[in-house]
Amino acid sequence: MAEAEEEEDAAPARPPPAGIYAEEQGLFQLLQNMLEELLIHKPDDPIEFMINHLKQNNDDAPRICVLGPPASGKTTVAMWLCKHFNAIRVSQETLLFKEVLMQTEEAKAYKERNQKIPNALWANLIQERLSNVDCIKQIPEFGEERDGFESASLLLIFQHGLGLQGAAHLALRQQQNLCLQGSFMLYASDTVLIERSGGKRLDPLTQEVFHTTFDWPSDPLVQQRLVKPEDLSEQEVSKKLLEYHRNFPDIFHIYQKVLKSINADQPSVDVLSQVLAFVQTRHRSDAPFTPRILFLGPPGSGKSLQAALIAQKYDVINICCGQLLKEAVADNTKLGELIKPYIDSGCPVPDKLVLKLLTERLSALDCLSNGWVLSGFPRDVEQGEQLQKAQINPNRVFFFHLPYESIMERLSQRRTDPVTGERYHITFRPAPTPEIQARLRQNPRDEEENIERRLNIYHSNVKALEDFYQDAFYVNADQDPYVIFEFIESCIIKPLPCKKH
């Protein structure tokens, strides 16, 4: 489908406040969603349509399609999702029995006569159901309103079925131009399915599906109510399976871009957790993104290494706090002169000076347009708060975790060659010749007692920092650096998971 160019990424040097504002508010996504809806529906009066669309405010509401063969657990999953998201479930049964739509009578008549309900009829029923007010504006139970607008959710189950086949799906897609946000498909081998369907039991009151072996209800009242659903003989089920396999390739073809397959032959909690994780991940958007990354962790955890890797690959500016201070002193800048006495005497540089230096550096044009990665600051919550007050807000925060022994191992064996300046490690990166080895020296910072001291300071501050940065990612730093790098990369690139539900 054609998409117009978005203006946010047209200007080469955006004035920074506008860029940050756009990012925070998700403007790109907002406008893109609106454009998508416009193109799908092509209303004659776009202005009116846009006003209504914005009022609905249902961009984040899930529109999910659950597909799968009989006995794969669609109803169970769908009901659970509905409860979790406070959404509406649409399926064959609900369309025929629960809702009273205009064409329900007609559909029922077909069923009475034991005839297959024509696809067009199904498509119409679904369309009607979806355009019903509560699918578009679901009134939350307690009358609460979010931001003054009621947001809506919609959850669909399309089961295999004698009524809905590939053709129906095609008709459906074209007729309503459903903008489905995510469909997933439960799969399992035929033998498993046939076995499972033997134990299926239905609760006539709530329409919930249970199983004699895998999912037995704990409430004795419910237990007594359960009935065996009709058309459950093995023959029937095999027939349904056959039909499903016949139609499935078409359906798969239609939904394939947004379809995710989930193995249904697992304990139900696993299936549910996978489903939830999938539904909550937002798809990667094309919105322009300036990374502002924070690396926090004990000394020796690899922060500077990872920062250097990220800076190199993504062209962001690498800022190491310690380095910055030393550079300031070396360059003899005004601030550098103020900092010098502290560094010389080994005392920690006061926060105010460090902050001033940092703000200056981070507001430089290259940091603003390319993004930055900062390691070694803040060391405690106060510094973090001051950073926030200075309007420097990271959009990705990482905490490196490393057990005590590994830290000691890594740090206490660090050596430097005073002649070349090369850094070596006794175990992991030994010096090549005995000659060099002989002259290696250890930085007093890396002596055991000093390491202990630094670690203690770190640990006393880290809990508060973790509370301060709620949305942080936790990195297991006790791995191969490239493994860590890939993990960090994936966290930066994927949009932050949808937290609303």
Partner 1 sequence: MAAGEAQSREYLRRHRLPELLQRLGALLLFHRPERPREFLIQVLERVRAGRRAEGEFPFLLDEANVDAMFSLLDVLGQGHIRPAQYREALKTLGLSTDDLELADDVKITRRVFKKGMRKKMLESWSVY
Tell me the one-letter amino acid at 20. I
Cβ at position 20, least distance to partner 1 in Å = 10
| Least CB distance to partner 1 at residue 363 (A) | 19
Q: How many residues in total does the chain contain?
A: 501
Q: Please identify which residue in 12, 13, 16, 17 interacts with partner 1, judged by CB under 8 A.
A: 17
d(CA 450, CA 444): 8
Contact segment (CB under 8 A) with partner 1 among 29-37, 233-241, 275-283, 388-396 equals 29-37
Q: How many residues bind partner 1 (CB under 8 A)?
A: 31
The residue written with tokens 């909550």 in the block is 280
CA distance 421 to 419: 6
In this complex, which beta carbon is closest to partner 1, that of residue 60 or of residue 351?
60
Per CB under 8 A, which region of 27-35, 77-85, 256-264, 297-305 contacts partner 1? Answer: 27-35
CA distances for 184 relative to 66, 80, 191, 260, 465, angstroms: 5, 15, 21, 5, 38
CB closer to partner 1, 17 vs 322? 17
DSSP structure class, residue 282? P
Q: Which stretch binds partner 1 (CB under 8 A): 49-57, 210-218, 271-279, 335-343?
A: 49-57
Which residue among 16, 39, 260, 266 contacts partner 1 (CB under 8 A)?
Answer: 39
Contact between 94 and partner 1 (CB under 8 A)?
Answer: no
- Shortest Å distance, C-beta 18 to partner 1: 4
Q: Output 39 or 455, the one with its CB closest to partner 1.
A: 39
4 binds partner 1 (CB under 8 A): yes
**Beta carbon of residue 367, minimum distance to partner 1 (angstroms, whole number):** 21
Helix axes 448-468, 381-389, angle to 10 degrees: 50
13/269 with CB nearer partner 1: 13
* Residue from 16, 23, 35, 380 binding partner 1 (CB under 8 A): 35
106-to-74, 96, 103 alpha-carbon distances in Å: 26, 10, 5
Q: What distance, in Å, lies between the first and last C-alpha atoms of the chain? A: 30
Cβ neighbors of 412 (< 8 A, separation 6 or more) are: 446, 447, 448, 451
Looking at the Cβ atoms of 50 and 353, the one nearer to partner 1 is: 50
Q: Among residues 28, 33, 39, 27, which one has the least CA distance to residue 53?
A: 33
Asked whether position 25 contacts partner 1 by CB under 8 A, the answer is yes
Name the amino acid, one letter, at 355.
L
Rounded least distance, CB 9 to partner 1, Å: 11
Among 16, 27, 222, 276, binds partner 1 (CB under 8 A): 27
Which amino acid is it at 48?
Answer: E
In the complex, least distance from residue 85 CB atom to partner 1, rounded to whole angstroms: 21
For partner 1, the binding residue among 16, 23, 38, 478 (CB under 8 A) is: 38
Q: Which of 12, 31, 213, 450 binds partner 1 (CB under 8 A)?
A: 31
Positions in 120-179 near partner 1 (CB under 8 A): 147-149
- Cα separation, 35 vs 56, in Å, equals 15
Element containing residue 201 per DSSP (H, E): strand 200-202
**Short-list 283, 278, 280, 266, CA closest to 76:** 266
Nearest approach in angstroms of CB 500 to partner 1 is: 15
Amino acid at 70: P
> Pairing relation of β-strands 209-211 and 372-375?
unpaired
Of 88, 67, 230, 214, the closest CA to residue 155 belongs to 88
Verify binding: residue 50, partner 1, rule CB under 8 A: yes
Among 12, 13, 47, 105, binds partner 1 (CB under 8 A): 47
**Where in 70-89 is the site for partner 1 (CB under 8 A)?**
none
Asked if 286 is part of the footprint of partner 1 (rule: CB under 8 A), the reply reads no
Tokens standing for residue 426: 């006794």
Q: Between 166-176 and 234-255, two packed helices, what is the crossing angle to 10 degrees?
A: 40
Preceding omega of 378 cis (within 30 degrees of 0):
yes
Q: How far is the CB of 3 from partner 1 (least distance, A)?
A: 9
Shortest Cβ 195–partner 1 spacing (Å): 42
Neighbouring CB atoms inside 10 A of 220's CB total 8
Contact 388, 472 (CB under 8 A): no
Is 2 a binding residue for partner 1 by CB under 8 A? The answer is: yes
Residue 118 is classified by DSSP as: P
The residues that touch partner 1, with contacts defined as CB under 8 A, are: 1-2, 4-8, 17-18, 21-22, 25, 27, 30-31, 34-35, 38-39, 42, 46-48, 50-51, 54-55, 57, 147-149
